[in-house]
Amino acid sequence: MGKTVLVVDDDPDVRLFNTTVCEENGYTPIEAANGEEGLAILKDKKPDLVILDVLMPKQSGIRLYRELKTSKALKDIRVIILSGIAKKTFLRSQKALTEFGGDEIPEPEIYLEKPVEPEELAEVLKKVLGE
Amino acid sequence: MEIKKLLFVTKFEELWFDALQSLLNLRNASLNHVVFLNVIEREKVAMRRGSGYQKSEEIRLREKANIRFIDWAETLFEQGMEVGVYIVVGSLVRKVIEAVGKEDVDLIVIGRPKQGKLEQFFSGSDVTEIVRRSAKPVLIYKHLSQDSKFSGEPFERPLLATDWMPASTKAVAYLKKLKGVVKEVHVIHVVQEKSLKGTSAMAVQKTRKECRRKLEEVCEELEAAGINARAHVYIGDSATEIEKAARECQATMIITGTSGKDAWKERWIGSIPKSLTEKSMFPSLLIPLNAEDGD
């Protein structure tokens, strides 16, 4: 069985796109429709990688990423951010949260701006998962 | 009953980001999460003879809304706020109530609908229906005229209309949580003219004095919570006098409790919340009696 990839995105079309790319490249995808659902699956399944959207209902990717990277059990899970939100916004947001008293957290492995081509995503998956 | 999370409902016709920005001083209280909601009316994408469901139109409208929300969200994220978004197709009232349930928001912000009198009479406005059905406070946002002396921040100098009923007490409790946001509250009570008919000058003054005493009690309660407050008594038709008082006090918003009368009764006999929703020139915050305390 291939490595597990958790796809967290509120847009069902994007989830379908991402999970299809994962399957076609030999990975096992799991889906979550928002950050809250994503965190629950992360704790339960501990996937090898997360493809994470930022702007979502219930809990954003910004907060989920922060929870993930500040959790001893989850912080080593690799993350690809795939979002319409600009990378500099993501980084500034994390900086603001750190200034409000949060922990300093590392940048995500890869930050991709939507939309991406399937080949680009496949290449990034291989790069991050080392296959 | 703190405002930590608000639902900002927009059709991109009446409410823009400047409206939301004017509410961001709520961060001085406890606001840290904004959820955007855009409801695409079903008629815009409905089945049409010969062409079926307008999927491409739905995608176009969704992406148009998404582009705006991404832009707005970036500004809020960079301030360390949490942001969520819903772009959905369906009925405005149902989708707002659904989003309130899913997100457990503390405040709904929505623009005033533009409707003709006939339409209001027959179908009732969506916003009035949301106020009636929501267990959460609803702020009907209106842009005050640019040449007015009014501040652009609705929570800065609100006018609280009280009738001493439990819903009004709820509204006072709500305001007390907003120290650091509200600078001054004008607390008013409107005495109905009919209750003064046939009475002497002494009796009228006695009524005023009694109302004033009760209003001062509310003011003291607010001042104990760190919010300046002033009491005013008005006489006449409630909706008209509340509007008049808001102008005289240069209020930035009108706040009142809502008792949750049934829709049928409200439609025929009228009510202050209904009048504020549909006619007032001021932003109006309507706090339902059954609003949860949340703390």
With a CB cutoff of 8 Å and minimum separation 6, the contacts of B63 are none
Q: Is A58 on the interface with B (CB under 8 A)?
A: yes
For residues B244 and B250, give the distance between their C-alpha atoms in angstroms, rounded to a whole number: 10
Which pLDDT score is estimated for B271?
75
Contact A60 B35 (CB under 8 A): no
The CATH code belonging to domain B5-288 is: 3.40.50.12370
**Structural domain includes residue A129:** no
Element spanning A37, H or E: helix A35-45
Q: Are B279 and B151 in contact (CB under 8 A)?
A: no
Residue of B nearest to A83 (CA): B70
Question: What confidence tens digit (pLDDT) does each residue in A15-69 have?
Answer: 999 999 999 999 999 999 999 999 999 999 999 999 999 999 999 999 999 999 9
Q: Structurally, how many domains does chain A consist of?
A: 1
- Which of A66, A88, A93, A95 is most worth mutating to test chain B (most B CB atoms within 10 A of its CB)? A93
Q: Which of A111, A48, A36, A53 is nearest to A78 (CA)?
A: A48
In degrees and rounded to multiples of 5, residue B260 shows phi and psi of 75, 45
- Which of B27, B55, B58, B77 is most worth mutating to test chain A (most A CB atoms within 10 A of its CB)? B77
Per-residue pLDDT of chain B (295 residues; tens, 9 = 90+): 789 999 999 988 777 898 999 999 999 989 999 999 999 988 787 766 667 777 888 899 999 999 999 999 999 999 999 999 999 999 999 999 999 999 999 999 998 766 555 444 444 478 888 888 888 999 999 876 554 555 578 999 999 999 988 889 999 999 999 988 999 999 999 998 877 766 788 888 888 899 999 999 999 999 999 999 999 999 999 999 999 999 999 999 999 988 755 544 454 434 788 888 888 889 999 998 876 554 4
Mean pLDDT of A114-127: 95
Q: Is B34 on the interface with A (CB under 8 A)?
A: no
Query: What is the full DSSP assignment across B104-120?
Result: T-SEEEEEPP---HHHH
Residues 69-88 of chain A with CB under 8 A from chain B are: 84-86
**Structural domain includes residue A128:** no
Mean pLDDT of A102-107: 88
Residue of A nearest to B71 (CA): A85
Contact B77 A86 (CB under 8 A): no
For residues B161 and B255, give the distance between their C-alpha atoms in angstroms, rounded to a whole number: 6
Q: Could you identify the residue written with the tokens 């609705």?
A: B154
Q: Is A60 on the interface with B (CB under 8 A)?
A: yes
**Structural domain includes residue A42:** yes
Query: What is the full DSSP assignment across B169-213?
Result: HHHHHHHHTTBTTBSEEEEEEEE-GGGGTT--HHHHHHHHHHHHH
Q: Write the residue in B73, B82, B103 that is nearest to A85 by C-beta.
A: B73
In degrees and rounded to multiples of 5, residue B191 shows phi and psi of -85, 130
CATH code at A111?
3.40.50.2300
Question: What confidence tens digit (pLDDT) does each residue in A66-102 have?
Answer: 999 999 999 999 999 999 999 999 999 999 988 888 8
Contact B80 A56 (CB under 8 A): no
Show the domain range for A96: 4-123
**Structural domain includes residue A77:** yes
Give B146: exposed, middle or buried? Use CB within 10 Å, 0-12, 13-18, 19+: exposed
Cα distances (Å, whole numbers) of residue B52 to B45, B56, B91: 9, 11, 19
**Domain boundaries, given as residue ranges, for chain B:** 5-288
Q: Is A56 on the interface with B (CB under 8 A)?
A: yes
CA atoms within 13 A on the CB side of A112: 20
**Structural domain includes residue A130:** no
Query: What global pTM score does this model have?
Result: 0.89
Bridge partners of B8? B36, B109
For residues A27 and A29, give the distance between their C-alpha atoms in angstroms, rounded to a whole number: 6
For residues B238 and B251, give the distance between their C-alpha atoms in angstroms, rounded to a whole number: 16
**Structural domain includes residue A131:** no
